[in-house]
Structure 1
Amino acid sequence: MPKATGEYALPVSAFFGVVKPSGPSSMAVINDLKNLVARSKIFVAEDQLEKSKGKKISKRGKNDVKIGQGGTLDPLADGVLVVGVGKATKKLNQFLECVKEYRTTCLLGCETDSYDSEGARVRTAPWKHITKEMVESTLEKFRGEIQQVPPIFSALKMDGRPLYEYARKGIPLPRPIEARKTTVHSLELVEWKDTHEYRWPSKSLSSEEKTALKTATGSNELEDAPEEEGIPPVFVLTMRVSSGTYVRSIVHDLAHALGSAGHVVTLSRTRQGRFALTETEEGDRRCLPWEVFEKAADEQAGEDGWRPWEREILANMETLDNA
């Protein structure tokens, strides 16, 4: 149940966790939340709420409530998204540097430009030789402190230009993408499925797009192998990793180490610092299902003056005083 509002000097600056759904971008989720929190007395003084009645909530208005997130998730990904409101936005860096946990599904036999199912097919490779035991034994190479090359389809910049621009426009990279040191605290195979619903993307790179990617990366390893009949298996990994780790790159590199190709078809962030989908450690914070906010616009305040979604935030938020 929500804490008594007397425990807080409203309005507050606070963190809370939401369960981002797969599909929308992190920014789209934040913009939807801003339309709610900017009209709530949890975060905005009541006299300000009176002045803003009937006014449109702007995305970057100087006088609007500040809201941000502590680590972007790709549109494909779902799971923990830490939200900061008010002065808490200045403390979101702690969630960029913290340990994170993920659950991801890899589909074998096909590599995509983005390393996930949102991208286009780059090449196909043999997969029938791979067994569950092979995957389990190969995982050891990816545990501990490793060197990881980020995917070219990422927002990292080189000489002021996002890496994905080089790939899309066929601009040669000024230099190879630098490997980054990262730590994989744990990495486990938790499921192996021969029967499943996943399929390779139908979209393939055109010859021009493939040439552009080859030009950008300087790679000639983009040719298809003869396709094997049947449906390749998928396997599910769980991992606990340091900040800056690319799950897509782990899956991509693991598939290469297995003598094949592979890409991510599902990705869930199950923990970000103390915010988690399942509360298993002391001090864990519950994340609010996105359904709580989807129906918020039609909700009315109860006798206590709070709407249902506001009660959920009051019960689960972390103010700067108790962070």
Structure 2
Amino acid sequence: MPKTVTKFPVSALFAVAKPSGPTSMSVVNDIKSLVTQSRLFVKAEELEKANKGKQKKKGKFSKSAVKIGQGGTLDPLADGVLVIGVGKATKKLSEFLDCVKEYRTTSLLGCETDSFDSEGAVVRVAHWKHVTRESVEEALPTFRGDIQQKPPIFSALKMDGKHLYDYAREGIPLPRPIESRPVTIHALDVIEWKGSDHSFRFPEKKFTEEQKQAVEKALHGIEDQVIVKDEPEEAETSDVSATAFVLQMRVSGGTYVRSIVHDLGHAVGSAAHVVTLTRSRQGRFALEPTEEGDFACVPWEVFEKAVKDPGEADADGWTEWERAVMDKMDIVD
């Protein structure tokens, strides 16, 4: 439960229910424009001084002593829990990088992409009609528990000062294998089998033969028999809706959800990529609080509305967005 507030300003953690589309940074910046103008987080004398100056340019933030940050980026495609820290609470944000997280993700069979999700370009298509719910569930135990997970080559991780995705795009052989990382998959289950009853389609962007050869060259000598090649009878994967299913998982920090989906596609003799991704829990912040000590998320629409027009303050001087945050924040002393 939120602590009772008797003195302002405060330092606090709260979570926003990020929508799919905007970047995490743009969400933080929009919230920052509100936070730096609120007596909830900024001393009254500092606000008064800033308002007197009125020297900020359009689109710029007034200089303020208050700090703000987020506890773990969500890709633009992803939605769900994004933890925000303000003031001294920013020092607590690192805790949310290693905490247990929960995700729901929709996986689409028959196609893998460079980014392992629908935002990327099609690298390879594969047969999918043979894959059943039973075959997917039979493959899941391999991915549960303490496992070694290899980050995708199309990631921002660096090797010898160069991003992995640069090696792949430029056809430069990797100097050594990508190191696997220990992660823990506490729970992993199929919670919905959509079959072909959905509107998802493969991305329109496709890898050229030259790009496929570049990836093969980057991985040559590191992985055995690297061949980025479509399977025959491509019509099977392009003329009708390929099978989709929803996974729910509870994982340790550092887990690549997209890699689980990608590797699972291989495990059932096909290919797969992520088409929706929701972070439903990050530590004690959750979209649907179910445990003692949980905090709910502030809907993004509350901030989006306030950025356009904060609205009138109530009898105690608080606006709608400030009340929403106060109701769901975890104060850090």
Q: TM-score range by the shorter chain?
A: over 0.9
TM-score (norm 2): 0.91
Q: Which amino acid aligns with 2:198?
A: H
Given the alignment of the two structures, is residue 250 of structure 1 paired with residue 251 of structure 2, yes or no?
A: no
Kindly state the Cα deviation for residue 60 of structure 1 after the two structures are TM-superposed. Answer: 8.9
Give the RMSD, CA atoms, in angstroms: 1.9
- Tell me the CA shift for residue 171 of structure 1: 2.6
What is the CA distance between 1:90 and its match in structure 2? 1.2
**Aligned residue among 289, 309, 314 for 1:279:** 289
Q: TM-score, normalised by structure 1?
A: 0.94
1:47 to 45, 48, 65: 45
Aligned to 1:56: 56
CA contact (8 A) 1:170 1:215 kept: yes
Distance across 1 between alignment mates of 2:142 and 2:184: 12
**Distance in 1 separating the partners of 2:298 and 2:55:** 28
The 2-side partners of 1:216 and 1:156 are apart by: 15
Task: Give the corresponding residue for 1:221.
Answer: 227
Amino acid at match of 1:306: W
Identical amino acids, percent of aligned pairs: 63
Partner of 1:15: 13
Aligned-partner residue type, residue 311 of structure 1:
R
Q: Deviations over 1:14-39 (max 9, x none)?
A: 10000011111111111111111000
Q: Partner of 2:316 in structure 1? A: 304
- Spell out structure 1 runs of 4+ moving beyond 6 A: 1-4, 57-62
Equivalent position of 2:35 in the other structure: 37
Q: CA deviation at 1:231?
A: 2.0
Please give the secondary structure, in 2, of the residue aligned with 1:22.
Answer: coil
Q: Give the conservation status (yes or no) of the 8 Å contact 2:3–2:331.
A: no
1:184-223 superposed matches below 5 A: 184-194=185-195, 195-218=197-220, 220-223=226-229
Which SS does the other structure have where 2:280 is aligned?
A: strand
Greater Cα offset, 8-17 or 32-41: 8-17
> One-letter code of the match for 2:268?
L
Aligned length: 319
Secondary structure of the residue that 1:82 maps to in structure 2?
A: strand
- 1:145-194 Cα shifts (integer Å, max 9, x gaps): 11110112222221222222222333322211111111100001001112
Secondary structure in structure 2 of the residue aligned to 1:76: coil
Cα drift, residue 316 of structure 1: 1.0
Query: Can you list the C-alpha shifts for 1:58-117, whole angstroms capped at 9, x where unaligned?
Result: 879874421111111111100000000111111111111100000000000001000000
> Structure 1: how far apart are the matches of 2:140 and 2:112?
19
